[in-house]
A and B are shown apart, each in its own frame.
Chain A
Amino acid sequence: MNSCSKKNDTDHKTTPLNFTIPPGFPEPQYKFEGNPLTSEGFELGRKLFYDGKLSKDGNFSCASCHQQFAAFATFDHDLSHGFNNQFTTRNAPALFNMVWQKEFQWDGGVNHIEVQPLAPLTAANEMAEDINNVINKLK
């Protein structure tokens, strides 16, 4: 399972996190060299995943549609929904084995996981935010 790690400040001490490829699995698509896995990065990514501040009104974290108890898809609804009582046109894709994926989103329109979050984050019917505003809120 991939983690949503952010670039670490080289002044901070970090704890490397091991990712073992299970037997029979191919090489990952994601290259960790530019963003090595660390415990701190993993925990930060998980914290942000559950943080509603990434959305315009504070109600829509990544986890609001990518629900852990539903393989990170949206449970008990056919269409996922976001800001201002708006439906999206699909259910949120379940999240697993992403480190082996070459493409993301239902249409495969995103080819790198590090930029994928920008799509729901800026969509008016999802999280309805702007990345610079999110960074200001998190500071």
Chain B
Amino acid sequence: MFWTWNSGYIMAKLEGNSPLSNEADNRIQYHIGGFKQADNVLKKVVLPFPCNTALEFLANSYATITITANVNAWFNNPNDLYIAQVPVCMTPGDLSKKIASNYSKMFSLVSIENNR
């Protein structure tokens, strides 16, 4: 998704409905973006492999890495996000940065299957 040349790409979004939202259709819309200097929400995420696990490639085989994303991570740690207070994020800025700090922790590595 994209806003404009000035505000740039929407890097991540979470949309849905909640009875706690006072918006039209009880919608929740968190569109997270911003790339200019202080507004930048781009995150680098490093997922450590489980102990004693390596990625192995033999010729003519492939490996599968399974990663999961926990949606709940959008709503806390380090920034508490309450739907009733903030059902919408639509621009680069402080709110986007806070939510990006939260969701940067949403990924975890579940498994690695080698030599399939």
Main secondary structure of the interface of B (DSSP, over half): loop
Whether the pair A85, B91 counts as a contact (CB closer than 8 A) is yes
Q: Is residue B14 within 8 Å, beta carbon to beta carbon, of the partner chain?
A: no
Size range of the chain A interface in the assembly: 10 to 19
Q: Which residue of A59, A64, A75, A79 is within 8 Å of B24 (Cβ)? A: A79
In the assembled complex, the Cα of A64 lies from the Cα of B3 at a distance in Å of 8
Q: Is B83 an interface residue (CB 8 A)?
A: no
Question: How far is B4's CA from A87's CA once the two chains are assembled, in angstroms?
Answer: 17
> A59-B7, A64-B7 are contacts. A85–B2 as well, Cβ < 8 Å?
no
Interface size class of B (residues with CB under 8 A): 10 to 19
Smallest CB gap from B95: residue in A: A85
Q: How far is the CB of B106 from chain A (nearest CB, A)?
A: 21
Whether B24 lies near A61 (C-beta < 8 A) is no
- Encoded as 1 (CB less than 8 Å from any A CB) or 0, chain B from 1 to 12 comes to 111101100000
Q: Which residue of A lies closest to B89 (CB)?
A: A85
In the bound complex, residues from chain A placing their C-beta under 8 Å from that of B1 are 76
Contact A64 B2 (CB under 8 A): no
Set of chain A residues within 8 Å of B24, measured between Cβ atoms: 79, 87, 89
Flag if A61 contacts B6 (CB, 8 Å). yes
- Residues of chain A having any CB pair with chain B under 8 Å: 52, 59, 61, 63-64, 67, 75-76, 79, 81, 85-87, 89
A-B contact pairs, 9 of them (CB 8 A): A59-B7, A63-B4, A76-B1, A81-B90, A81-B91, A85-B89, A85-B91, A87-B24, A87-B88
